[in-house]
Structure 1
């Protein structure tokens, strides 16, 4: 028989909470880097007409890593 005073949901461990918040912070930081890289690439293209492929690639990689980190944070329990 279970104790009615016990919660149905297990208590989250502090390490799991820390990993979740670190994943959120890392994901947001990666998405911020993505936005900055795309802004720089657009500005370079507007001013010079040259496609700044390196900034776009860094932006794409940062965007993918940011989305993966945010997905990790959402499924981490």
Structure 2
């Protein structure tokens, strides 16, 4: 008979790598949003709150996804 825990190992590895990919994607989105917000501010003098908020939320979600990947072993 097979051990039921043997099926959990590949799933845990898949979840960990998926969390790493999602976390890195969110942090990349954060960088893009803040770059756009800074460019809008430089060109117009108006602070782009929508881009900054999306960047902030994306940074938090990316950080949480990377924390999940680190804890999921």
What TM-score do you get using the length of structure 2 for normalisation? 0.89
| TM-score normalised according to structure 1 size | 0.85
Segments of 5+ residues of structure 1 without an aligned counterpart are 1-9
2:62 counterpart of 1:69: no
Higher helix share: 2
Map of 1:23 onto structure 2: 19
Q: Give the drift of 1:58.
A: 0.1
Structure 2's unaligned 5+ residue stretches are none
Q: What is the number of residues matched between the two proteins?
A: 68
- Structure 1 residue runs of 4+, over 2 Å off? none
Deviation of residue 18 (structure 1)? 0.1
- Structure ID, larger Rg: 1
Mapped pair 1:44 → 2:43: no
Looking at structure 2, the residues matched to 13 and 42 of structure 1 have their Cα atoms a distance apart, in angstroms, of 44
RMSD: 1.5
Query: What secondary structure sits across from 1:13 in the alignment?
Result: helix
